[in-house]
Structure 1
Amino acid sequence: MNKDFLLEIGLEEMPAKYITDSLKQLEERTANWFLEQKIEHGEILSFQSPRRLAVLVKDVAEKQADRVEEAKGPAKKIAFDETGDWSKAALGFARGQGVDPTELTFRELKGVEYIYIEKKVAGVETIQLLPEFKKIITDMAFPVNMHWGANELRYIRPIKWLIALFGETVIPFEITGVKTGNTTRGHRFLGKEVTISNPADYEMKLLEQFVVADPTKRKSAIREQIEEIEAVKGWVIPQDEALLEEVNNLVEYPTVLDGAFEEHFLTLPEEILITSMKEHQRYFPVFNAEDVLLPHFITVRNGNHEHLDMVVRGNEKVLRARLSDGQFFYDEDLKIKIDDAVQKLSHIVFHEKLGSLSEKMKRVQKVALLIADLLDWNKDEQADIIRATDIYKFDLVTNVVGEFPELQGIMGEKYALLQGEKAEVATAIREHYMPTSADGALPETELGSLIAISDKLETLVSFFCVGLIPTGSQDPFSLRRSAFGVIRIILKNGWNLPLAELLHAVVEMEKEAGIGEISAAEVYQDVQNFLKNRLRVILQDEKVRADIIDAVTSEDSNFVPLIIERAKLLNENAKSEWFRPTIEALSRVSNLAKKHVDDVEIDESLFENASEKALFDELTLMKRDFPSLSSAERLERFAELRSTIDAYFDETLVMSDDEQVRSNRLELLFELALFIKEFAEMDAINVK
């Protein structure tokens, strides 16, 4: 008879931001274990709260299914000795498999006969295997860990209780002195310990002790209560899924309530108010139908409806103190002059190996002006660049940003506008931080985009110069995000920047500034490969074939929009009838062109057939036309060129015994291959 299996890890309160992923990990490890053990089961349910991670596996079979195992032994030719008896090799194989030699059979594999054995293996009872869940628990990995007492185990938080229950039977094991049982704990203040006699009763028993163990149901309860307040009050409370997820992981029994703050605080910038509420207090801000912030907030209590008035007053008191601090900091910041703030940046270390923030800003300014030259920006636009890069980090020394780091750039824009800076410059101060995540929002203005690229590219190169390169999952300086940001901003603006040329220049600039001891050539190649890998990820997300990605990224990443465009074109046309023969023809040109040694001027008098002249004429037209052709038009020309290439190879022996003729033919192919290679490394594309 099948039984349910319940596993619960009881812990001290876990950090809210890690609970969701931790539960997912436990669920995946559980599912994988049952799969590996070949134990049949039904649905896997998962539960969590700040103090627990749990899985409930329904309808678990009482034992593994019996199975037949097959093993291959020595070849038949060495299975017998000279007398025709089983050889030592065959007997050893049988002994190792625990079978009698009479059970050995032979089977042919790739023309050779081998000894084979099939043996029936009886399934092990599930209850004997379930103690292995001790290792599943101890092997879990978390972003943060701690150890307690004299225990060697490092875990997200100390383990307080454990349930491992198969049907009504406790599965015995012990972790850090805590033995498994069938007792769980309810809400810290409203509930008590409760015995789980049957795994199926787990969720209901916890609810009786004021714990909503299903995170989906808990979140739905919060959302429904918020919507009810919206309807009663006529408010608009934006659905902030990230905040809702965090709040959901902070409570076991949610009760939503609303509070208020003094209207005079509404004179503060809205960002200070919202940040105080969301980031510091986990409150939901409230708006009216016209999207105007109101002096109210929504919060979620970890408890029931008793004494709510007292809870509301406590939350209002805490928020009032926060907003009072924000008011003071903001008023003090209004007394600071931008140029005075900039002077203070020379005393703030950006990184011990990379100098002060002021020194970084000077390097970024050089990068920005270099990019502006490549984009042909005029003097007025370059003047905006100079002013923006002179001051764009100034708000880091303001009081508000010191208290609310999340507002860096945002407050810089506001203070810059208040002090009369151009709107474009002020906006660039805010936008240079964008994107703040791999897929975050991008700058909307060209100046903001240019400063953002310059800052991120300088950061990348400078850190690589001093050997601070991301390894594995470790990326403490968010360099992957910076690289994604550079590429995504370039794509958004459609800037065909010569990225390889730009990167060379930035590396040389860093070396001239005395940054790091790693050679310029090594830094360039490392950063180039780093950017190329990010570009590959973007193409993978666009569902481009791996071989086509290899083809368009074989060379140093340069004109990024063109690389993306050509990858998509090749991918879209890969199933067309003309695609395979065209790629094969172009690849043949490229492969033979690799034999090119000496540069010579193509001599038409050395042509020996009409196909050579025809291919040369096509090359001449390509030199004339290609600079003005789009990627799609170039690919179309390549397709049209295929018949000429095929005729050329049918009628022409490229590797002629006549050295002069051979060099002439290789030069023709080499010059043609340059156009092909600029588009993509065609021989990397799989058309088999």
Structure 2
Amino acid sequence: MSKSVLFELGVEELPARFIDDALAQLKAKTVQWMADNRIPYTDIIGYATPRRLAVKITGVEEKQPDIEEEAKGPAKKIALDEEGNWTKAAIGFSKGQGKDVDDIYFKEVKGTEYVHVNKFIEGEATSQLLQNFREVFLALTFPKNMRWGSRDLRYARPIRWMVGLFGDEVIPFSIESVETGKRTFGHRFLGEEIVIEEADRYEDTLVDQYVIASVDKRRTEILNQLKQLESEQGWKLILDEELLDEVTHLVEYPTVFSGSFSKEFLEVPEEALITSMKEHQRYFPVRSVQGDLIPYFVGVRNGDEQYLDVVARGNEKVLKARLKDAQFFYEEDQKGSIDGKLEKLSRMVYQEELGTLADKVQRIIAITGKLSEWLGLDEEQQRKAKRAAEICKFDLVTQMVDEFTELQGVMGEKYAHIFGEDEEVAKAINEHYMPRQANGAVPSTTIGSIVSIADKLDTIVGSVSIGIIPTGSQDPYGLRRQALGILQTLTAHGYSVPVEKLIDLVHQFYFELDLPTRNEKEVRDDLHEFFRVRAAYLMREERMDPDIVEAVLNSGIGIFSTTKEKASLLVEKRFDPTFKHVHEALGRVLNLAEKAESSNIDESLFENEKERKLYEVYLSIHEPFIKEIQEGRPSSALSTLSELAGPIHEFFDTTMVMAEDEKVRHNRLGLLKLIADDVYTFADLNAIEWKQQF
């Protein structure tokens, strides 16, 4: 007979950002624990609120299944002595399996006879095994832990109660003197201490105490209430998914309410109003059907509908104070000038070893200038790009950004318009922070993209130069995200600039400006590898095969969009039988070229027409191949490179590369090295697992 199992861990309020991961861990670790203990079950359901993490396991059998298995021991020649008596090895093996020598039989395995016994392992009672489930709760990890009282356990929050039930029977265990039982607690204010009579009544019992334990049901309830209010009022709510998830994890029994604020605050940029409502108060802002922001907000209360009007008024007072601050900051920030604000950057430390924000801006200006030249911007566009670089950080000294850091760039664009800056320049101030999060939008304008790349390059090169390199999950400066942003922006705009060229440009600035830096070669190598790993990550995210990714990145990233095209092309060629003779020919070249000491060729040392022909074909395709690579035409480049396949096969059929004559041998290896250098420029074809079918 099967039953349901319930485990609930009651804690002080968990931070909302902890809950999704904690619940996922709890479910995954429960699945593994049940498998490790060989306990059959039907399903695992997870629950989480700010005050509890729980899991219900349905269809749990009352005991493990019995096991009959064959145990293999030592070989027969070890198990028996010369007189045919059992040796200590055989006796010890049988005892270790809970048997004696009378149970031994021999069985041949790969031509050798071995000792075997049949074992019967009776399944243990599930109720006994479940007492060890505490291991799962103790294995949960959190971003931050704490200790409470004199206890040794470090955990996200203090543990207040635990429930452990197998059907209606208590599963006894304890953690830090907290014992399991049937006792749990309802809503902190509306509910009371209650008893869960049996595992299957968990959800229903809690609902009666104003707790919706299921995250999905709680989220759906909030969403339904929001949609109903939206329909009743004729509003259009700004339903941010992250905010919806956060609110779901802040409440146990949600009730939606609405409030209003003075129309005068609508004169403040809506980004500031929305940020104040969402980020600071966890409210959903409201738009009219036409899309205009209107003076209302919607919140979610952790409770029922009693005194909802009082709750709304209290929230209105809090929001009014927030919005008055935003209004004051907005008015104050418009005083003075951009130049006056830029002067303050020289008093703001960017990084102790790398100077002030004003110093960083000067580097951004220099990098922007060089990028503008490389990309062929006309004189007017170069002027705008330089101006955008000059003022890209001015809003960091404004009171609005100081209060709402999420608005950096956004307010810069707003204020730039107010101070009369060019439209493209103003937009670039906002865009140079893009992408703001993983897979976020990249800058849409040329000027915005150039300043964005310049800013991020300076941050990455500066950090790596002084030894700040992300390790494991630690990346306090967001260098990985910024590197991804550079690569995504280069690709989106189709900029034909090798990534290594950009890195080396900025790295050189650091030496010219005599900024602190580690060994030049070490820094350069670290930077190239850092970007190579990020490029590989992006390509794998696009489902490109790991071996092909490594193959095309063998000689560096180069022009990233071209490198991605090369990878896509090789994915197709991997299964193309007509390409077999090409990759075999080029692969043989790569193998032998490793033995070459140089690539200097003496034509007088050629001894047959096939090696001479191979050299001539190489000379005829080398420059067109390089040009096609540089111009971002990998398909044409591979076709050009493939012209070598026939001459290579003919060369190997008629020519002994490792000739006895040392000069001839080195000359032939040098020829192969010339070809290999071009092959590696495209990809390391030997790193690819070819899968053509024949």
**For residue 389 of structure 1, what is the aligned residue in structure 2?**
389
**Mapped partners of 1:37, 1:246: distance in 2:** 35
CA deviation profile, 1:472-512 (whole Å, cap 9, x unmatched): 11111111111111111111111121222332232232244
How has the CA–CA distance of structure 1 residues 248 and 129 changed in structure 2, closer, same or farther, with 3 Å as cutoff?
A: same
Greater displacement, 626-635 / 647-656: 626-635
Equivalent residues of 2:598, 2:673 under 8 A apart: no
**For residue 625 of structure 1, what is the aligned residue in structure 2?**
624
Give the total of aligned pairs: 687
**For residue 290 of structure 1, what is the aligned residue in structure 2?**
290
Residue 500 in 1 paired to residue 500 in 2?
yes
Question: Shift of the alpha carbon at 1:71?
Answer: 4.1
**Mapped partners of 1:70, 1:453: distance in 2:** 64
CA deviation profile, 1:630-664 (whole Å, cap 9, x unmatched): 21122233445423322221112122223343333
**Mapped partners of 1:495, 1:110: distance in 2:** 62
CA deviation profile, 1:251-270 (whole Å, cap 9, x unmatched): 11111121111111111101
**For residue 406 of structure 2, what is the aligned residue in structure 1?**
406
Q: AA paired with 1:208? A: D
Q: Which secondary structure does the structure 2 equivalent of 1:578 belong to?
A: helix
How has the CA–CA distance of structure 1 residues 391 and 116 changed in structure 2, closer, same or farther, with 3 Å as cutoff?
A: farther
**Mapped partners of 2:205, 2:654: distance in 1:** 85
Equivalent residues of 2:625, 2:640 under 8 A apart: no
Equivalent residues of 1:466, 1:515 under 8 A apart: no
**Mapped partners of 1:78, 1:511: distance in 2:** 71
**Mapped partners of 1:344, 1:69: distance in 2:** 78
Q: AA paired with 1:611? A: K
**For residue 669 of structure 1, what is the aligned residue in structure 2?**
672
Equivalent residues of 1:602, 1:668 under 8 A apart: no
**For residue 651 of structure 1, what is the aligned residue in structure 2?**
654
**Mapped partners of 2:627, 2:354: distance in 1:** 43
* Among candidates 667, 681, 686, match of residue 683 of structure 1: 686
**For residue 635 of structure 1, what is the aligned residue in structure 2?**
638
CA deviation profile, 1:427-459 (whole Å, cap 9, x unmatched): 121111111222111111111111111211221
How has the CA–CA distance of structure 1 residues 262 and 150 changed in structure 2, closer, same or farther, with 3 Å as cutoff?
A: same
Q: AA paired with 2:621? A: M
How has the CA–CA distance of structure 1 residues 129 and 344 changed in structure 2, closer, same or farther, with 3 Å as cutoff?
A: same
Question: Shift of the alpha carbon at 1:70?
Answer: 4.5
Greater displacement, 453-462 / 345-354: 345-354
Q: AA paired with 1:425? A: V
How has the CA–CA distance of structure 1 residues 180 and 336 changed in structure 2, closer, same or farther, with 3 Å as cutoff?
A: farther
Greater displacement, 212-221 / 659-668: 659-668
Residue 68 in 1 paired to residue 68 in 2?
yes
**For residue 131 of structure 1, what is the aligned residue in structure 2?**
131
Question: Shift of the alpha carbon at 1:38?
Answer: 1.3
Question: Shift of the alpha carbon at 1:108?
Answer: 4.2
Match runs of 1:495-574 below 5 Å? 495-574=495-574
Greater displacement, 610-619 / 558-567: 610-619
- Extract unaligned runs of 5+ from structure 1: none
How has the CA–CA distance of structure 1 residues 316 and 124 changed in structure 2, closer, same or farther, with 3 Å as cutoff?
A: same
Residue 615 in 1 paired to residue 630 in 2?
no
**Mapped partners of 1:654, 1:39: distance in 2:** 64
**For residue 471 of structure 2, what is the aligned residue in structure 1?**
471
Match runs of 1:152-301 below 5 Å? 152-301=152-301
How has the CA–CA distance of structure 1 residues 532 and 598 changed in structure 2, closer, same or farther, with 3 Å as cutoff?
A: closer
CA deviation profile, 1:532-561 (whole Å, cap 9, x unmatched): 111111121222222111211122322211
Q: AA paired with 2:689? A: N
Equivalent residues of 2:618, 2:644 under 8 A apart: no
**Mapped partners of 1:513, 1:26: distance in 2:** 53
How has the CA–CA distance of structure 1 residues 514 and 75 changed in structure 2, closer, same or farther, with 3 Å as cutoff?
A: farther
How has the CA–CA distance of structure 1 residues 69 and 536 changed in structure 2, closer, same or farther, with 3 Å as cutoff?
A: farther
Q: Which secondary structure does the structure 1 equivalent of 2:469 belong to?
A: coil
**Mapped partners of 2:636, 2:424: distance in 1:** 38
**Mapped partners of 1:440, 1:76: distance in 2:** 66
Equivalent residues of 1:166, 1:199 under 8 A apart: yes
Question: Shift of the alpha carbon at 1:109?
Answer: 4.3
Equivalent residues of 1:578, 1:639 under 8 A apart: no
Greater displacement, 650-659 / 442-451: 650-659
CA deviation profile, 1:310-361 (whole Å, cap 9, x unmatched): 1111111111111111001111101132111111112222222322212222
Greater displacement, 553-562 / 164-173: 553-562
Question: Shift of the alpha carbon at 1:207?
Answer: 0.6
| RMSD between superposed Cα atoms in Å | 1.9
**Mapped partners of 1:496, 1:167: distance in 2:** 66
Q: AA paired with 1:224? A: N
Q: AA paired with 2:679? A: I
- Extract unaligned runs of 5+ from structure 2: none
